[in-house]
Amino acid sequence: MVNSTQTSYFTFNAYFDSSDLKYLCFVIVMLLYVLILCANVLLIVIICMNRSLHEPMYLFLCSLFVNELYGSTGLFPFLLLQILSDIHTVSVHFCFLQIFCVYSYGSVEFANLAIMSYDRYLAICYPLQYNTHMTSDKVAMLITLSWLSSFLAIVVMISLIVPLQLCGNIINKVYCDNYSIVKLACYDTTVNNIYGLIATCLTILCPVSLILYTYMKILKVCFSGSKQTRQKAVSTCTPHLASLINFSFGCFFEIIQSRFNMSSVPVVLRIFLSLYFITCQPLFSPVLYGLNLSNIRIICKSLLFSEM
């Protein structure tokens, strides 16, 4: 029996060490990371530097882009090192740090998407009272609450896995995750499983329920409102819905893969699905919002083509 405090490292069992594929994978992952960095940093700078964009919707977007940079940086540099390495191990402390980054990224993402849907609900259903309801103090409070509550929930989760007594140190993935370590425990993990369900409800089901409720109200207003109201709803809600569906799709496959035996699925596909929610969301969100929101699109064009 091995205690988690005595175990100095975990070993990843999902990497393949083909010399030809190794460097190809490294180049692909590096390009993805550079694209994510450039796209998200560009939009963060645009929103921060232009006073015309210091409105609630764009500030919530800025929080979203910062979170996607945070989540990507918590995973991609680690992946790049592991791809080039011949020994796929990680220290226990870094493993817990990575769990904190990846899980808090997912929690903050859902919280941000829920706040953005609430903001659109107020703007479309109560346009005359919008500025009264969505003040600068309320915007700051909602953003702060989304980050702090997510961090707190993940800190509690990690505090429950740190003292676990482990009977192994092999993780069948390409990065650390909570349930992979819980499965290594020698004794009963009922408390961990119960808190995992509670945390899932708080960080996923509650935000998604709020989003569904707000969109039901928005649809009701759209069907009974003017053509202008419908156009406003479509232009601002389409990228948000696409972002939500994309992220939920990635999280669904991550949860399924963690909880059920996926040995019949090819290794490459399992790796892709486990990385989807933290790779495609930071890559697609800047494109979705940058192309669909006219204010951001105009400023991007002026910056990129001003020298031409």
Q: What does the pLDDT look like over 221-234, one tens digit per residue? A: 877 767 776 777 77
pLDDT at 1: 38
Chain-centre distance for alpha carbon 120? 20
pLDDT at 106: 92
pLDDT at 40: 92
pTM over 0.85: yes
Angle at 259 between CA 254 and CA 265, to 5 degrees: 65
The phi, psi pair for 151, rounded to 5°, reads: -60, -45
CATH number listed for the domain at residues 2-304: 1.20.1070.10
Q: Residues 56-81: pLDDT tens digits?
A: 988 999 999 999 999 999 999 999 99
Q: Which residues of the chain have pLDDT under 70?
A: 1-6, 17-19, 225, 229, 261-263, 291-294, 301, 303-308
Residue 91: beta bridge partners? Answer: 9
Q: At what angle do helices 92-125 and 267-292 cross, to 10 degrees?
A: 40
